[in-house]
């Protein structure tokens, strides 16, 4: 069941790499939150019930519901529909995302004899998710898409920490902190400020400061 969920997760990343519709990004992120929730439920075991409840509830509430709702709110309020003119055409973007994913799987295959403490499959997919997130940030132009690329990267990091969740719950807990930090700060605060100041949430408008 867990490998199936992880593959599903990696497919959502492919979709993120290829789509241009902003609302589709948000729905995909919500889906990722739900997938992560199920992975925690199935993988975490029952030794530490309070921790399990906290983690799974946080994942579902913040990643699955709260962040997508806030994002959707911002998108509807500012009437953002599509990511236009990315730096790389979507077709190539899809090819690059797929190759990142393929190398992720290749890494997990390579890792299967090195990785003692970590689940190799977790590792490969999460690394490719992190790289894809960075790729989305680099190639897209809208601020809102940048945030979503960052969220995807965030989800990848969360998947990575789940591999050591049992040994070091502390690490996962501060991963959760990172989550809330993003939700509160990047979203609630700045997107609206930029909208007010620049009348358009486009990274091209943020070019006053340069040398």
Partner 1 sequence: MIEIILFTPLILAAAVYLLNKKIFNTASLFIYSLLLLFSSVNLYLEPGSFTSYFKTDNLSIIFLIILALLFSGVSIYNFSYMEHDRSSIKRQSFYTVNILLFTASVAGVILSSHLAMLWVFIEATTLSSAYLIYYHRTPTAIEATWKYLFICSVGIAIAFVGITLLSMGLGGFDSLYFDELAQKAEKIDPFWLKLSFPFILAGFGTKAGLAPVHAWLPDAHSESPSPVSAILSGTLLNAALLGILRVVKVMELAEMGDYARTLLLAAGFLSLFVTAVYIGVVKNYKRMLAYSSIENMGIIAIGVGIGGAGLFAAVFHLTAHSLTKASFFLTSGNILHRYGTAEIAPVRGLLKGDAATGWLWIFTFAAIIGLPPFPIFISEFLIIKAMFTKGMYGTALIFFILLTVIMAGMAKNVLRMCFGEDSAAPGSGKSKILEWLPQLIFMLLLLTAGLCLPDAVRAAFEAAASVL
Site residues (CB under 8 A) for partner 1?
Answer: 114-118, 130, 134, 137, 143, 146, 150, 153-154, 157, 160-161, 163-164, 167-168, 170-171, 174-175, 177-178, 181-182, 185-186, 190, 193-194, 197-198, 206, 208-209, 211
CB nearer to partner 1: pick between 14 and 164? 164
Q: Where are the alpha helices (DSSP H) in the chain?
A: 2-18, 22-43, 49-58, 67-78, 90-111, 120-139, 143-162, 169-181, 191-198
Q: What would the two tokens of residue 203 be?
A: 């990274």
CB nearer to partner 1: pick between 4 and 208? 208
Least distance from partner 1 to the Cβ atom of residue 167, Å: 5
Least distance from partner 1 to the Cβ atom of residue 134, Å: 8
CA–CA distance from 95 to each of 48, 92, 100 (Å)? Answer: 42, 5, 9
CB nearer to partner 1: pick between 26 and 157? 157
Least distance from partner 1 to the Cβ atom of residue 183, Å: 12
Calculated CA dihedral for residues 24, 150, 32, 191, nearest 10 degrees:
-50
């Amino acid at each position: 069941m867990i490998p199936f969920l992880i593959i599903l997760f990696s497919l959502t990343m492919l979709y993120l790499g290829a789509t241009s519709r902003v609302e589709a990004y948000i729905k995909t992120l919500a889906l990722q939150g739900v997938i992560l929730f199920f992975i925690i439920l199935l993988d975490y075991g029952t030794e530490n019930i309070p921790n399990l409840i906290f983690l799974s509830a946080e994942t579902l509430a913040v990643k699955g519901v709260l962040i997508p709702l806030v994002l959707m709110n911002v998108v509807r309020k500012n009437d953002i529909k599509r990511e236009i003119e990315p730096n790389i055409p979507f077709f190539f973007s899809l090819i690059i995302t797929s190759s990142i994913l393929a190398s992720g799987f290749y890494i997990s295959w390579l890792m299967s004899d090195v990785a003692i403490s970590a689940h190799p499959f977790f590792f490969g997919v999460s690394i490719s998710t992190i790289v894809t997130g960075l790729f989305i940030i680099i190639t897209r132009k809208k601020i809102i898409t940048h945030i979503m690329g960052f969220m995807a990267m965030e989800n990848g990091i969360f998947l990575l920490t789940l591999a050591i969740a049992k040994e070091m719950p502390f690490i996962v807990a501060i991963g959760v902190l990172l989550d809330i930090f993003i939700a509160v700060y990047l979203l609630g605060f700045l997107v609206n400020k930029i909208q007010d100041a620049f009348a358009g949430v486009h990274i091209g408008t943020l070019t006053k400061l340069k040398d």
